[in-house]
Amino acid sequence: MEAVIATGGKQYRVTPGQVISVEKLAGERGAAVAFTSVVLVTRDDEVITGAERLRSAKVSGEVVAQTRGKKVEIVKFKRRKNYRRHRGHRQAATTVRITTIEV
């Protein structure tokens, strides 16, 4: 069984037991998390789509870790103008292990 979930402005294709990294979610390590925004479910070669059929669909998981992504460096430079800017950013992320997919 597979599902496509939407969280943090992105979509993820997940299966039970899979570990994914998503935008930061509330919860400590070991806390349960539920994704109710399910876009698609495949079960026994049957593809289930549509808002009516997926109204009660839910993907459950548990928080494995709260981490931060790789550093992105932003450098701006204009020659001969003494203009230099150097910034960095690390996006907060949550690692989640998918436990069940319910339709």
Q: 57 has which bridge partners?
A: none
Q: Measured between alpha carbons, how far is 65 from 93 in angstroms, rounded to an integer?
A: 9
Tracing tokens 């400590």 back to the chain, one arrives at: 28
**Positive or negative torsion for Cα 19, 11, 61, 67:** positive
Predicted local confidence at residue 10, as pLDDT? 96
Tell me what the mean pLDDT of segment 17-27 comes to: 95
The whole-model pTM stands at 0.83
Closest by CA to 94, choosing from 7, 41, 17, 22, is 22
Give the CA angle between residues 96, 13, 16 to the nearest 5°: 55
At 6-20, the pLDDT tens digits run: 999 999 999 999 999
Task: Quick: pLDDT tens for 72-98.
Answer: 999 999 999 999 999 999 999 999 999
**What's the token pair of residue 68?**
């931060």
